[in-house]
Amino acid sequence: MVERKTTATDVIDTLGLEPHVEGGYFRRTYQSDHRDMLTTAGGPRYLMTSIYYLLTEQSPVGQFHFNQSDILHFFHLGDAIEYSLILADGSLQTLVMGSDVLAGQHLQFHVPGGLWKASRLLHGSNGFGLISEAVSPGFDFADMEMGNRQKLTAQFPQHRILIEKLTRDDD
């Protein structure tokens, strides 16, 4: 029996994923609606939410964006995904999520709220990379800001080339 290779379309269909505004595909899988809502500066939020997030060869970039909440990322399957974080002091942190822990890839990592974050699928044999994110306080689109290329390059000119690769053209 010949085993059929799993494709990005298989994962999208099986998990019921939809296009995400930052790129890639997602579906919320959990929200802590059995707990009291948290009071935040932006209004009431779930204690925690969770999503599947998928990058594909056709949608390989999660554009730079800013979240208020802390996010835990968990790698599941497929090709490795590179994350670029611009810290508050303007320094850049880059790390790779993937299954090759002996090569220094991460199975999970934490991104504190208040950082600019982008991701991109690294070339591999699968054509997709699948992670989950657990967000606390729970994710709300009101707490997310998409990166504006002009504003980010003005704020972080030392990262202009990377910002241009990982944002959409503002024009």
Give the separation between CA 171 and CA 78, rounded to whole angstroms: 33
Beta strands across the sheet bearing 70-78? 18-19, 25-31, 49-56, 128-136, 70-78, 108-111
The per-residue pLDDT for 170 is 62
Categorize the per-residue pLDDT at 38 as very low, low, confident or very high, splitting at 50, 70 and 90: confident
Contacts of 6 (CB under 8 A, 6+ apart): 126
Of 91, 112, 94, the closest CA to residue 156 belongs to 91
Of 121, 119, 90, 95, the closest CA to residue 107 belongs to 95
User: Are residues 99 and 34 in contact, defined by beta-carbon separation less than 8 angstroms?
Assistant: no
The per-residue pLDDT for 37 is 84
Q: Is the pTM of this model over 0.85?
A: yes
Inform me whether the pLDDT recorded for 171 exceeds 70: no
Least confident segment among 38-42, 62-66, 70-74 = 38-42
Domains belonging to the chain, first-starting first, are: 8-145 (2.60.120.10)
- Dig out the tokens for 76 from the structure: 């599941």
Mean local confidence (pLDDT), 156-160: 97
The residue type at 110: H
The per-residue pLDDT for 157 is 97
Inform me whether the pLDDT recorded for 155 exceeds 80: yes
> How many CB atoms neighbour CB 100 within 10 A?
11
- Per the listing, tokens 């925690």 go with 48
Pairing of strands 43-45, 49-56: unpaired
